[in-house]
Amino acid sequence: MDVSVEKKIQLLETMIVSRKFSDALKQLCKIKDKIPGMMIVADGQEAVGSGVCGALEPDDAIITNHRSHNHLLAKGADPKALMAEIYGKKTGCNKGKSGTLHLAVPEINAPCTTTVVGATLPIAVGRAFAQQYRKQPRVTVCFFGDGAADEGSFHESLNLAALWQLPLIFVCENNLYAGGQRYEEHTRVTDMADRAGGYGMPGMIVDGNDAPAVYRAALEARQRAVSGNGPTLIECKTYRWGGHSETDPHEYQPRDEIKAWRDKCPIRRLSEALLDQKVITAAQMAQMTSQAEGVVEEAVRFAEQSPYPAPREALEDVYT
């Protein structure tokens, strides 16, 4: 299936916004008392969120994990509300309750970012069940890393999703590292997608740095799900350029390995292809970049200018 030029440009734009957003966070988190908590970004992995979310309809849901920014931006979250939340401000999408690691954006059907590794899976099962129960032609996407595939919740969730043929796409974003542990150090299975067969669902392997390829795979899985043919496990093979978090010196990642993967940058790859095919011009590319920078600058300005919540607002929102 050919991916349209318009779609490719959209995928590229999303990835550039994600990268610029991350670039800003990597700087901001180094400034004392600027950003609370641990900063986790996903540089080099932008094609996964962009490609998968590019295949979704607005009413489709995503459940995402600690490395969520790319997913949420690709799903359509407001960068200003995200940035303000990351700052811990009152105007943040969760009024300062969640911060960078638990961003919840239910208005775009991204109701949960969970930091408990493997916890996206059972929740996604519930979200997909609701879609099936109401006979809605919608899907839920569940993002998780390769480390989460070692949790018990992975087993329970894939088994039940396949048993009930839920409209669910399990997206394993295999970035080769689970914390400080290399992929080969946490499982014997060469391809995580192989585990799908053990649950009676199709597994797909896709180049996770190729946004149109990820998009095609997600579209196929979505079609299967809404046709009533159940879940799919898509393994997106990609790479985490940085450490687990911005304070992780990540000496366990060989420097030549990082360099090799940086050369496979998903943004450069798609933009060069589009430039080579003369689908976009260098000027258009520069404009996309400066547009993305503008979006992020505006988000940072909004967050900077927003007030903190009053301390006693901590007591609100536990119950309805």
Partner 1 sequence: MQKLGMGQAVNQALREEMHRDPGVFIAGEGVGVSIHVNPMLPTHGLLEEFGPGRVKDTPVSEAVIAGLAVGAAEAGLRPVVEIMFNPFFTLASDMIVNHAAKLRYLSGGKSRFPLVVRIKSGAGFGAGCQHSHNLEAWVAHCPGLQVVMPATPADAKGLLKTAIRDDNPVIFIEHMGSYFAPPMPVPEEEYLTPLGRADIKRKGRDLTVVTWSGMLGPAMNAAETLSREGIDIEIVDLRTLTPLDRKTLLSSVEKTGRLIVMHEATRTGGFAGEIAAVVLEQGFEYLKAPLRRVTGPDIPVPVSPPLERFYIPNADDLIAAVRELLP
Contacting residues toward partner 1, per CB under 8 A: 61, 63, 92-98, 102, 104, 106-107, 111-112, 114, 116, 119, 121-131, 133-134, 140, 152-153, 156-157, 159-160, 163-164, 316-320
DSSP 85-135: HHHT-TTSTTTTSSGGGS--BGGGTB-EEE-STTTHHHHHHHHHHHHHHTT
Q: How far is the CB of 158 from partner 1 (least distance, A)?
A: 9
What is the biggest distance separating any 2 CA atoms in the chain, rounded to whole angstroms?
57
Judged by CB, which is closer to partner 1: 15, or 158? Answer: 158
Considering the complex, what minimum distance in angstroms separates the CB of residue 109 from partner 1?
Answer: 9
Instruction: Point out which residues pair with 145 in neighbouring strands.
Output: 173
Cβ proximity to partner 1: between 54 and 96 the closer is: 96
- Bridge partners (DSSP) of residue 105 are 110
Q: How far is the CB of 213 from partner 1 (least distance, A)?
A: 28
Least distance to partner 1, CB of residue 295, Å: 22
Specify which residues 181 forms β-bridges with: 178
What's 67's DSSP letter?
S
Q: Which is nearer to partner 1, 4 or 320 (CB)?
A: 320
Sheet containing 61-65: give its strands across: 112-114, 61-65, 140-145, 168-174, 232-237, 203-207
Question: What is the number of other CB atoms lying within 10 angstroms of the CB of residue 82?
Answer: 24
Between residues 47 and 110, which has the closer beta carbon with respect to partner 1?
Answer: 110
* CA atoms of 72 and 105, how far apart (whole Å): 8
Which of 73, 112 has the CB closer to partner 1? 112
Q: What 3-state class would DSSP assign to 258?
A: helix
Min dist. Cβ of residue 201 to partner 1 (A) = 15
Single-letter residue type at 222: R
Q: Which of residues 139 and 214 has its CB atom nearest to partner 1 in the complex?
A: 139
Q: Token pair for residue 302?
A: 């909004």
Q: Residue 18 has which token pair?
A: 């994600």
Residue (34 or 95) nearer to partner 1, CB: 95
* Minimum distance of partner 1 from residue 308's CB (angstroms): 14
Closest distance of CB 159 from partner 1, Å: 6
Contacts of 136 (CB under 8 A, 6+ apart): 59
